[in-house]
Structure 1
Amino acid sequence: MINLFFYEKIGRRILSWIQHYNHDKYWYRRSIVTNPSDKTNILIKLYYLYYIKNTDAYHNCSFGTNLNSGSYFSTPPRLPHGPNGIIIGHDLKIGCNCTIFQQVTLAHGGGRIGDNVLLGAGAKVLAGVSIGDNVKVGANCVVVENIPDNATVVLPKPRILLHN
């Protein structure tokens, strides 16, 4: 009998080598580097930081201006197109099961992104803006005001379409 898990694991390894991005490895290492209470050896943290910055540079993206006091992810976000051009400022709290498409910019300034949020390609969220839970932000939206829970937001100047 063929061990399919073995071939799946090899396939993921080859794909991560080709794409220069391993999702699980990246987010595991980022969680160690950004957690100030983590007791991992400083040399290992520096190596992980090097890996993170190298991956960010290859994909033209930045996850925070300062990783040690940077944004907080409840769980690793889903990145369907990889970390391509995504910019996430510091001092943000990002909830569980967040999906972030390419070229999204989240400005720093103490904002909050809720749970189960989908941020479409090219969406921009300005400083201090909070987005509620279960919100869908369409492609190329510029979010300038707080968005309530369970809303769908579209157009470059956002308009809330659905709100329960």
Structure 2
Amino acid sequence: MGPIIINPGAQIGHNCRIHSGATIGATNGSNKAASIGNNVFIASGATIIGEVKVGNNAAIGANALVIKDVPESVTVGGVPAKIISYNDSSSNMVKLRNY
């Protein structure tokens, strides 16, 4: 579907899953980009623009346009993105194992 584009000003937490075609960018000439929490799932084609915060365990749906903060442990989707479910990202994440 395409490359993953991440602005150098973005902050991305641990164990995030970012699919093809996703963009995490800045806007209006700013170099300030999103702050993504831990265990966040970002589906194909999702766009996160500007200095927004995405909470831990959130899921961003395919082709969603995120321009406002996303709370922890919800699923957002649509253009612009809004809460569509109170399910967290856990079903979409790879479980890390201790060996």
Q: Give the TM-score range, shorter chain.
A: 0.7 to 0.9
Q: Is 1:143 equivalent to 2:66 in the alignment? A: yes
Q: RMSD over aligned Cα, in angstroms?
A: 1.7
C-alpha displacement of 1:162: 3.1
Selected match of 1:122 from 28, 35, 45: 45
Q: Deviations over 1:103-156 (max 9, x none)?
A: 100013142000000000000001101100000000000001000100100122
Large movers: runs of 4+ above 4 Å? none
DSSP-derived class of the 1:128 partner: coil
Structure 2 stretches of 5 or more lacking a match?
27-31, 88-99
Pick 1 or 2: higher relative contact order, CA cutoff 8 A, min separation 6: 2
Structure 1 stretches of 5 or more lacking a match?
1-80
Please tell me whether the aligned partners of residues 150 and 162 of structure 1 are also in contact (alpha carbons under 8 angstroms). Answer: no
Query: What CA distance in whole angstroms lies between the structure 1 residues aligned with 2:75 and 2:58?
Result: 6
If the length of structure 2 is used for normalisation, what is the TM-score? Answer: 0.75
C-alpha displacement of 1:163: 4.0
Query: What CA distance in whole angstroms lies between the structure 2 residues aligned with 1:111 and 1:88?
Result: 10
If the length of structure 1 is used for normalisation, what is the TM-score? Answer: 0.47
Work out which of the two has the higher radius of gyration on C-alpha atoms and give 1 or 2: 1
Q: Deviations over 1:9-32 (max 9, x none)?
A: xxxxxxxxxxxxxxxxxxxxxxxx
> Across the two proteins, how many residue pairs are aligned to each other?
82
Q: Is 1:94 equivalent to 2:12 in the alignment? A: yes
Higher helix share: 1
